[in-house]
Amino acid sequence: MTNKYKYFVANWKMYGDKKSVNSLNKVIKISKISKFKRAKIIYCPPYTILGDFIKKLKNTNIKVGAQNCHFIDGEGPYTGFVSSKMIKQIGSQYVIVGHSEQRESGDTDIKINKKILSSLNNNLNVIFCVGENLKQKKKNLTKKILSYQIKKGLNKVKNYNKILIAYEPIWSIGTGRILSERELFKNIESIKLILKNVKKHIQFKILYGGSVNDKNIKFLSKIKNIDGFLIGGASQKPNKFIDIIKKSYI
């Protein structure tokens, strides 16, 4: 069994209600087993149940994060948005920034950078998502796109220790398709090299996201330069989520 710390970020997207809190019981139980204490579990539910998750997980090793935030620190005339300050005040420890679904909805690299700076200013840990779409992949632009997104996103950042990078090829999300072992290893290494040029002495943690499930986790866990996973649909079902954690530590 690996001794490596691994991250398991459960991105629930637009799913879940107050009853969903009960589904955490099984995961809380496994988090207490010494064999899996190196598993860093983070739940990112919708805003509507964020407070319920924080309350439920208060005295556990499991952390809670939001799925997005506004780029303004505090308050303002932004109907329908929530700031990083509000997220921190409710008790959240993490926030996902730059997810491809938010980029598709209008998040530019400049906006993402502002969100990262705002989140760090409010002492949140940031899960910063980067990745190429299918058209970019076919044109062999993956490395160029990753470099651009990372450099723009981390512009003016000072506290790099509070940032996790999540590599999520956009074409892979929800499709069941994933890169080959060789390609995935190569892309993660490219990200590490880009980050080294941004900040030499920081050992960034790199997560993988994109159709991660209990069936392909053994394959993904073989790729040694991955430090954890950003998990969508499979994380909503406790048994599948637990399977992913267990199979990562075989």
Residue pLDDT tens, the chain, 250 long: 455 789 999 999 999 999 999 999 999 999 999 889 899 999 999 999 999 999 999 999 999 999 999 999 889 999 999 999 999 999 999 999 999 999 999 999 999 999 999 999 999 999 999 999 999 999 999 999 999 999 999 999 999 999 999 999 999 888 888 899 999 999 999 999 999 999 888 999 999 999 999 999 999 999 999 999 999 999 999 999 999 999 998 7
CB-based contact 194:151 (threshold 8 Å)? yes
Task: List, in order, residues 6 or more apart from 68 with CB less than 8 Å away.
Answer: 82, 95, 96, 97, 99, 102, 115
CB-based contact 61:31 (threshold 8 Å)? yes
Task: Give the pTM.
Answer: 0.96
Task: Tell which residue, 91, 86, 41, has the closest CA to residue 68.
Answer: 86
Strands (E), the chain: 6-11, 39-44, 63-66, 94-97, 125-130, 163-167, 205-209, 228-231
Task: List, in order, residues 6 or more apart from 75 with CB less than 8 Å away.
Answer: 83, 85
Three-state SS at 218: helix
- What 8-state DSSP symbol labels residue 95? E
The residues annotated as belonging to the active site are 99, 168
Looking at residue 97, its pLDDT comes to 98
Chain centroid to CA 177: how far? 19
Three-state SS at 36: helix
d(CA 34, CA 32): 6
Cβ neighbour number for residue 51 with a 10 Å cutoff:
14
Chain centroid to CA 232: how far? 10
d(CA 11, CA 198): 27
Domains of the chain: 6-248 (3.20.20.70)
Helix, strand, coil shares of the chain, percent, nearest 5, are 45, 15, 40
d(CA 180, CA 203): 25
Looking at residue 3, its pLDDT comes to 52
CB-based contact 49:10 (threshold 8 Å)? no
CB-based contact 225:167 (threshold 8 Å)? no
